[in-house]
Structure 1
Amino acid sequence: MTARETALQGMDRTTAFDLYMSMELGDKSWKLTFGNGSQRPSRCTVAAGDEAAVLERIGKAKVCFGLSAAAAVHSCYEAGRDGWWLHRRLREHGVDNIVVDSASIEVNRRARRAKTDRLDGDKLLCMLQRWHAGETRVWSVVPEPTVQQEDDRRLHRELQRLSGERTSHTNRIGSLLMLHNLRVPHVGGRDWSRWWGSHHEQVPPALRSEIEREYARLVLVKQQIRELQAVQSKQVSDNEQPQVAQLARLRAIGIPTAWVLVKELFGWRHFANQRQVAGCLGLVPSPYASGDIQIEQGISKAGNKRARTLFVELAWSWLRYQPDSDLSQWFKRRFGSGGKRMRRIGIIALARRLAVALWRYTEHGEIPAGASLKPAV
């Protein structure tokens, strides 16, 4: 018997402990690992998606560890394809569940390390117990969106996927045409039908059919993009998206950009200061200092990738459309005389400052210093 078990002998363990559960979620099965902080963990497997089996196993685990039926249950799983439905179901049944960022989970730094679902479950269980013991920095807990906030992300994310498909179809058609030295400036553009009508005879029948099928898919994708963009514009014009309309008033920011920033960042995340804004985007420095070695590793890139990428693109547009703003003037003084490398470094710094300025604008209505608004329509 260990020293901890000896110290706990004779205590009423039905009220002294809570039940802890970690879940490894797979496509076909879920691996559950239970513990109470003093005894060896207990493991079991249930079919993926079987929430009734999970609740049944929780009840059996309480009996196994000698806990009362009213004992609190704390659980966790890594953010992934299952999303938030399981988190909400567990909360409905009184389980204190959290969803953790898998990239924030500490791992062994050995050259080779054993990795199995069992070891992962044990690791999650140990870290869950440490987190509830007060080690809040042991990992990053993903903030929970509401069902409506989660659903609001679907439109712009689908638009991004469709834009990628449009580029893929366009590039594919252009590559097929080059097999016969046929080059068109804009595949699928306004002059495509006329150009294809005068050149399709130069292409063999099988390749011609493939190009026409590829073009049909391109037409469908472009139609769906127009439909989704129309939905965005209508909601903004009908004043259903006030934050999007507020951001879109600034020059250099259009409705699609404002939509993504609101739905991914400003519309549901609450920040206490500018450091939290930059940290959420992964636009914070990551220094490496050990002894006499001091290296700057660049930004962490640990935040929302969609919003971070968009802010970098927006920073370049800001320089073009808001040249008289304080942010643009700061960039010109600090990096304007440097080469390409310095400007690329500087644009990241500008993106971070711009993110903070837009957060203050959406949160408190403070227009970025020197920035101009679009004329009222």
Structure 2
Amino acid sequence: MDERIKFFVGLDAHKDTIAVAACEAGREPARFAGTLGPDVRALLKVLGKAGDPAAVSVVYEAGPTGYGLYRELSRRGYHCEIIAPTLIPRRAGERIKTDRRDCLRLAELSRSGELKPIWVPDEAHEAMRNLWRAREDAVGMRLKARQQLKAFLLRHGRRYPGKTSWTKSHERWISDQRFDHQGDRIALGEYQLAQQSAEQRVQRLTTALTEAAAGWRLEPVVAALRALRGIDTVSAIGLVAEIGDFRRFGTARQFMGYLGLVPSEHSSGNSIRRGSITKTGNAHARRLLTEAAWNYRFPARLSQALRERSNALPEAVCRHAWKAQLRLCGRFARLSSRGVQTNKVCVAVARELAGFVWAIAQQASLPTTPPH
């Protein structure tokens, strides 16, 4: 901790209120300063009583209010940190949780150095992440619209005879369906319009995301990750938007742990117990890697699309991507042959894929980013 810091302030920030507590360097307990409204000016007035902003450290939990408070305090010269709620130490005997207690606890933990701040993206990076998540939400809405349309047809005993849904043949089959009652005809038309609207929304956001990535400062990392099997433009942008600067992870194991792809463990003495994966960290990136891992169930090969994506990439990146494909395809086959459940195989392969993603991102030309 910076020796210049003399005051430690804990905030419990919500949409309508901000509870404030502070303590000085030393061993005195934190003092509750009061509950303010959401206006940052009122908070700045309270913080101003502590003196020089460089001598004040402010911490608060990550939440739905975003990074606006962090950026405003940082612009004013305060040392501000956002804390992941899941990484805040909790006392086993505590059964009462209030805003007042939370901010007091945050101030004291900040003074003792027991809090681990999260990485805060800059505004341009956050805008890219917001665009990516908007597309992700649109894909979810498209899935829901498709499910509703298929459920409507199934209630009438209409089953598509083909193997693959949502192809041109499938859509023609849906359009050829005829019903005797007007209500059913109107319902089918509305379901079709909803599905088409959702599909168009996904296409618009996909185009916007691809265009926004052109010239992005992390575009070289996106291009390098596309050399991996199962990771194309959209998923590569999603990974980079969610993770940010890969250099903040010193090792591939740290990166796997951040994604929550490592097994949970409860060991004591000679007893070692490992369970399911921890599922901590970024769920969006974990889902992308798990979906990409499914592509390694087939034998390793360089498809035409992979060769085209790799043409402009450095030879070292291409070699690493091919090494990843050989290892992961083999691992998927070995685990499957042993009778391991398919979902567990995908998670195991995704964990190793995360290591290759980290290694390739390190090789890509990453620009210098300001510390947060």
| Residues 162-212 of structure 1 deviation map (CA, whole Å, 9 limit, x = unaligned) | 11101111111222333433445688764677656654543452x544443
2:239 equivalent among 261, 264, 270 = 261
Which residue identity lines up with residue 265 of structure 1 in the other structure? I
Higher mean C-alpha displacement, 282-291 vs 85-94: 282-291
Structure-2 change in CA distance of 1:125 and 1:221 (3 Å) = same
Asked if residue 44 in structure 1 is aligned to residue 34 in structure 2, the reply is yes
Higher mean C-alpha displacement, 117-126 vs 158-167: 117-126
What does 1:1-377 correspond to in 2, within 5 Å? 18-37=6-25, 38=28, 40-48=30-38, 50-60=39-49, 62=50, 68=51, 72-110=55-93, 113-131=95-113, 138-184=114-160, 190=168, 195=173, 199-205=177-183, 207-234=184-211, 241-265=219-243, 267=245, 270-320=248-298, 322=300, 325-328=325-328, 330-331=330-331, 335-341=335-341, 344-364=343-363
Q: CA deviation at 1:316?
A: 2.4
Higher mean C-alpha displacement, 350-359 vs 207-216: 207-216
**What is the alpha-carbon distance in structure 1 between the residues aligned to residue 40 and residue 166 of structure 2?**
48
Structure-2 change in CA distance of 1:300 and 1:365 (3 Å) = same
Which consecutive residues of structure 1, in runs of 5 or more, have no partner in the other structure?
1-14, 63-67, 132-137, 367-377
| Residues 40-91 of structure 1 deviation map (CA, whole Å, 9 limit, x = unaligned) | 503311112x01000111234x3xxxxx557711111111111111101001
Structure-2 change in CA distance of 1:169 and 1:334 (3 Å) = closer
Which residue identity lines up with residue 16 of structure 2 in the other structure? K
Q: CA deviation at 1:339?
A: 0.3
Structure-2 change in CA distance of 1:57 and 1:246 (3 Å) = same
The CA RMSD measured in Å over matched residues stands at 3.2
Structure-2 change in CA distance of 1:47 and 1:215 (3 Å) = farther
Query: 3-state SS of the aligned residue for 1:27?
Result: coil
Query: 3-state SS of the aligned residue for 1:173?
Result: helix
Structure-2 change in CA distance of 1:265 and 1:320 (3 Å) = farther
Query: 3-state SS of the aligned residue for 1:290?
Result: coil
Does the CA contact (< 8 Å) of 1:236 and 1:242 recur in 2? no
Q: CA deviation at 1:98?
A: 0.3
**What is the alpha-carbon distance in structure 1 between the residues aligned to residue 223 and residue 45 of structure 2?**
49
Q: CA deviation at 1:233?
A: 4.4
Q: CA deviation at 1:321?
A: 5.8
**What is the alpha-carbon distance in structure 2 between the residues aligned to residue 354 and residue 259 of structure 1?**
16
**What is the alpha-carbon distance in structure 1 between the residues aligned to residue 245 and residue 4 of structure 2?**
41
Does the CA contact (< 8 Å) of 1:244 and 1:262 recur in 2? yes
Q: CA deviation at 1:327?
A: 1.0
Residue equivalent to 1:375: none
**What is the alpha-carbon distance in structure 1 between the residues aligned to residue 131 and residue 90 of structure 2?**
36
Which residue identity lines up with residue 65 of structure 2 in the other structure? D
Query: 3-state SS of the aligned residue for 1:44?
Result: strand
Residue equivalent to 1:372: none
| Residues 249-284 of structure 1 deviation map (CA, whole Å, 9 limit, x = unaligned) | 344332222222222226565322222221221222
**What is the alpha-carbon distance in structure 1 between the residues aligned to residue 265 and residue 189 of structure 2?**
53
Query: 3-state SS of the aligned residue for 2:15?
Result: coil
Identity %: 25
Does the CA contact (< 8 Å) of 2:263 and 2:276 recur in 1? yes
Which residue identity lines up with residue 144 of structure 2 in the other structure? S
Q: CA deviation at 1:336?
A: 4.7
Q: CA deviation at 1:315?
A: 1.9
| Residues 113-168 of structure 1 deviation map (CA, whole Å, 9 limit, x = unaligned) | 1111111122212211111xxxxxx3331012111111111222111111110111
Query: 3-state SS of the aligned residue for 2:221?
Result: helix
Which residue identity lines up with residue 316 of structure 1 in the other structure? W
Does the CA contact (< 8 Å) of 1:266 and 1:362 recur in 2? no
Higher mean C-alpha displacement, 33-42 vs 179-188: 179-188
> What is the TM-score normalised by the length of structure 1?
0.77
Alignment coverage as a number of residue pairs = 336
**What is the alpha-carbon distance in structure 1 between the residues aligned to residue 265 and residue 44 of structure 2?**
45
Structure-2 change in CA distance of 1:257 and 1:193 (3 Å) = closer
